[in-house]
Amino acid sequence: MSTTERQSAPVVPLWTPAVIPDGAPSKIDPPEGEDLITVNFGPNHPSTHGVLRLIVTLDGEVVVGLDADIGYVHTGFEKNFEQKTYWKGIPYSPRMDYLAFFANELAYVGAVEKLIEIEVPERAQWIRTLFAELNRIHSHLIFLGTSGVELGAISLFFYCLRERDTVLDLFEMVTGVRMHDRYPQFGGVAEDLPKGFYAEAKKFVNEMPQRIDEYLDLVAGNAVWEDRYRGIGVIDADTAIAMGLSGPNLRASGVPYDLRRAQPYLAYDKLEFDVITSDRGDAYERLMCRTREMYESVRIIDQCLEGMPSGPVMADDRKYVLPPRHELHTSMESLIHHFKLVTEGFRVKPAQIYYPVESPRGEFGCYLVSDGGTKPWRTHFRAPSFVSLQSTAMMAVNRYVADLIVVVASLDGVMGEADR
């Protein structure tokens, strides 16, 4: 019995830049043809980083059609915010992008702070900057580790999680919890840095660059990584901007756009750091951009530790700020303020605001509409993962299904944030 050899569809060569398809930009319609097979890639698949469902049409081993379906972890964050006083929204925000929890909190807290026009003390700004960068390292470590797992290389994952644990230890030392900390509050941060933090953080700052060197030894020039990541998912600068990519995904295509530099917030205008860019725009450069960004984050953390001004960490405006705990036992006014703030909340003038921060994944923005009451009228979050996953189809089409996994990994989507 003879079998006929069936060839897969031809693949486009490496380094072919992605082209925005006609029709819906985030969807590739499969061509007419026989022997095409449509499979569900996900929602439960180890390499989808959560629950991303890709409806993939294959011709042999080649992706010829792709449609992404998200929403499997939709939890109604935005609706929930509308039912809570502003205060009670803070613990919700880090649970969206659970890897970049601190950046989410900063966006929400920053938006409300701008609406209520509260002055955040200098020291609190620096502490926030420090933790924003620790959080960036945390997120990039998970990205780097899992991008190895995607290729079947598990050892890098263990190294990355080791350093991630150190980062989380630092978080625990200051905030009491390892993730989802509710540490930034309207008007500052919850507590000052504890004794001993400086030494621990300094130890981390001194060690971390060598660790990143080690990762780069494992990744850069590694034949497996080179073969799998080079020339895959190429997107040029104009297409990347049109598709709304931001953060390392955009900077890997050669656009030096970083909100820490372009629209400075917190203490970033007082710090020295480089915006890491690359001009080749493929999956490998996106990986390297994130890895090299960790050096810059370490630099920023070091400057924060050395240059941290002294002073209060919380604004002194009892209309918005919870009174210190010890005052509740001695001061009637503090007790009243505490009671009013916790039960009723504070009023925010009717206005709308869009407050973006540079999360590890790109521009994370909080759009807030107030009606003058104690709860937000509408909150909407501009989630960078949500936006970047739109480009999956155009990057992965006409390449092997194995490259699809690399494309999804290199875009670094977090589904909790995409679905909200």
Q: Which residues are near another protein by CB under 8 A?
A: 20, 23-27, 69-71, 74, 76, 78-79, 83, 114-115, 241-244, 246, 250, 255-257, 259, 262-263, 347, 350-356, 363, 365, 367, 369, 371-375, 377-378, 380, 382, 386-387, 390, 419-420
CB of 165 to another protein, least distance (A): 34
Find all residues with CB under 8 Å of 58, minimum gap 6, and list them: 36, 37, 38, 39, 64, 401
Q: Edge-to-edge strand order for the sheet containing 62-69?
A: 27-28, 62-69, 53-59, 36-41
Looking at the Cβ atoms of 313 and 396, the one nearer to another protein is 396
> Cβ of 200: how many Cβ atoms within 10 Å?
15
CB of 177 to another protein, least distance (A): 29
Looking at the Cβ atoms of 115 and 160, the one nearer to another protein is 115
Q: Tell me the β-bridge partners of 58.
A: 37, 63
Looking at the Cβ atoms of 167 and 387, the one nearer to another protein is 387
Supply 64's token pair.
Answer: 């010829």
Supply 207's token pair.
Answer: 């060690």
Q: How far is C-alpha 195 from the geometric centre of its chain's CA atoms? A: 30
Give the three-class secondary structure for 355.
Answer: strand
For 190, list phi and psi in degrees, rounded to 5: -65, -45
CB of 359 to another protein, least distance (A): 13
Longest dimension (CA), the chain: 93
CB of 25 to another protein, least distance (A): 4
CB of 220 to another protein, least distance (A): 28
CB of 223 to another protein, least distance (A): 35
Looking at the Cβ atoms of 212 and 348, the one nearer to another protein is 348
CB of 355 to another protein, least distance (A): 7
How far is the C-alpha of 144 from the C-alpha of 371, rounded, in Å? 43
How far is the C-alpha of 420 from the C-alpha of 415, rounded, in Å? 8
CB of 324 to another protein, least distance (A): 28
Supply 147's token pair.
Answer: 């991008």
CB of 111 to another protein, least distance (A): 9
Torsion of CA 384, 386, 391, 393, to 10 degrees: 160
Looking at the Cβ atoms of 150 and 412, the one nearer to another protein is 412
Looking at the Cβ atoms of 74 and 280, the one nearer to another protein is 74
Ramachandran category for residue 200: left, alpha or beta (phi over 0 → left; psi -120 to 50 → alpha):
alpha
- DSSP string covering 252-317: TTT----HHHHS--TTGGGS-------SS-SHHHHHHHHHHHHHHHHHHHHHHHHHPPPS-SB---
Looking at the Cβ atoms of 56 and 70, the one nearer to another protein is 70
Looking at the Cβ atoms of 215 and 320, the one nearer to another protein is 320
Looking at the Cβ atoms of 207 and 344, the one nearer to another protein is 344
